[in-house]
């Protein structure tokens, strides 16, 4: 079969996404059982950015599926600088069976997928974070079961996490409201793409409007990797977008709080919310492992 990549969620159909979530549920229920899905296969982790959850969950997941993992740091392969991205993709395709990449520029992710003859998984780019969004939807499904019609409120920067969450929610019929400061909203092209699916999309500059009646409240850091030079300015701009108990009073009483981590306690969210009874952030983090194992199985089923 022709190889499949996961560069963005739009490479999946809504039906395929739901099947992938079902597979993740099975994977999680048998987490202590060995699998031979990747026996004899070597997966390269090609990272331009440091990582905790993405790297560890993929390395552990690949091992649990019977495969071997090689970590390729920014110092070893500097895409587009030390060597042309197309040449890297073609070379690694001769050695590896798959690539998980974290890139500074999303174009590098596209180029890796275009020139590789092996599956490429987006472990994070400046535009999308599909593995995170799939784990997010899986985590929500564990709590609510029926996804259709749920309201998700994302408060903060319209970044890569926000973009993939927009697509994921819309694809499974959830409604999502994104509240960002003016000038920090999600990319219009991504919003328009999300609107082609069944879930309803609302973009606002008012966090109170977004959170009202929400079943899920989601946050991310205000200053991401690579944005450190504008950190002080961002902290000023986002000051009114902190998730705290006062803001959450208008959310559904049974809402859940989510964060992709790492969290900056006292900035985008208060510590009492992070550690509160509505928070599922560590279940969410654990689910990265199960969902990414499901992604690997799914892609390699199409690559036999």
174-216 residue pLDDT tens: 999 999 999 999 999 999 999 999 999 999 999 999 999 999 9
pLDDT of residue 230: 78
Q: CA-to-CA distance for 109 and 101, rounded, in angstroms?
A: 7
Q: Name the residue among 34, 53, 89, 95 with its Cα closest to residue 70.
A: 95
Average pLDDT value for the chain: 94
Phi-psi region of 253 (alpha: psi -120 to 50; beta: other; left: phi over 0): alpha
pLDDT for the residue numbered 278: 98
What pLDDT shows up at residue 225?
66
pLDDT value for 78: 77
Q: What percent of the chain has pLDDT over 70?
A: 97
Q: Does the active-site annotation cover 31?
A: no
Range of weakest confidence among 22-31, 148-157, 226-235 = 226-235
Identify whether 260 is a catalytic site residue.
yes
Q: Which of 4, 64, 106, 132 is catalytic?
A: 132
Question: Residue 81: its pLDDT value, please?
Answer: 75
3-state secondary structure 219-282: ECCCCCCCCHHHHHHHHHHCHHHCECHHHHCCCCCCCEEEECCCCCECCCECHHHHCCCCECHH
Task: Report the pLDDT value the prediction gives residue 176, as an integer from 0 to 100.
Answer: 98
What confidence tier does 33 reach under pLDDT thresholds 50, 70, 90? low
**Within 13 Å and on the Cβ side, how many CA atoms surround 54?**
27
The answer to whether 163 is a known catalytic residue is no
94 noted as active-site residue:
no
| Catalytic site includes residue 169 | no
Catalytic residue among 4, 55, 288, 290: 288
- CA–CA gap between residue 161 and residue 41 (Å, rounded): 29
Three-state SS at 79: strand
- Give yes or no for a contact between 180 and 241, defined as CB atoms under 8 angstroms apart: yes
Average pLDDT on 4-20 reads 97
What the chain holds in terms of domains, given with CATH numbers, is 9-129+288-301 (3.40.50.1370), 132-284 (3.40.50.1370)
């Amino acid at each position: 079969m022709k190889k499949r990549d996961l560069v963005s969620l739009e490479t999946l159909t809504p039906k395929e996404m739901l099947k992938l979530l079902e597979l993740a549920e099975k994977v999680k229920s048998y987490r202590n059982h060995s699998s031979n899905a990747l026996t004899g296969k070597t997966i390269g982790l090609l990272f331009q950015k440091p990582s905790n959850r993405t790297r560890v969950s993929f390395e552990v997941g690949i091992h649990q599926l019977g495969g071997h993992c090689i970590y390729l740091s920014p110092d070893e392969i500097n895409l587009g600088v030390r060597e042309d991205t197309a040449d890297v993709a073609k070379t690694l395709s001769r050695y590896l069976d798959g690539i998980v990449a974290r890139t500074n520029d999303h174009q590098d992710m596209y180029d890796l997928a275009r020139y590789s003859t092996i599956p490429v998984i987006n472990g994070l780019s400046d535009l999308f974070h599909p593995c995170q969004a799939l784990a997010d939807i899986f985590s929500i499904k564990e709590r609510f079961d029926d996804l259709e019609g749920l309201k998700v409120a994302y408060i903060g920067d319209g970044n890569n996490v926000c973009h993939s969450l927009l697509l994921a929610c819309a694809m499974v019929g959830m409604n999502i409201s994104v509240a960002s400061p003016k000038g920090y909203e999600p990319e219009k092209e991504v919003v328009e793409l999300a609107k082609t699916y069944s879930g309803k999309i609302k973009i606002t500059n008012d966090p109170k409007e977004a959170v009202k009646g929400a079943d899920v409240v989601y946050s991310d850091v205000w200053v991401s990797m690579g944005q450190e030079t504008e950190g002080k300015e961002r902290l000023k701009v986002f000051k009114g977008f902190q998730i705290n108990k006062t803001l959450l009073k208008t959310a559904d009483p049974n809402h859940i709080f989510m964060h992709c981590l790492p969290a900056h306690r006292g900035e985008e969210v208060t510590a009492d919310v992070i550690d509160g009874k509505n928070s599922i952030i560590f279940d969410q983090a654990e689910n990265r492992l199960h969902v990414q194992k499901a992604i690997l199985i799914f892609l390699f089923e199409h690559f036999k």
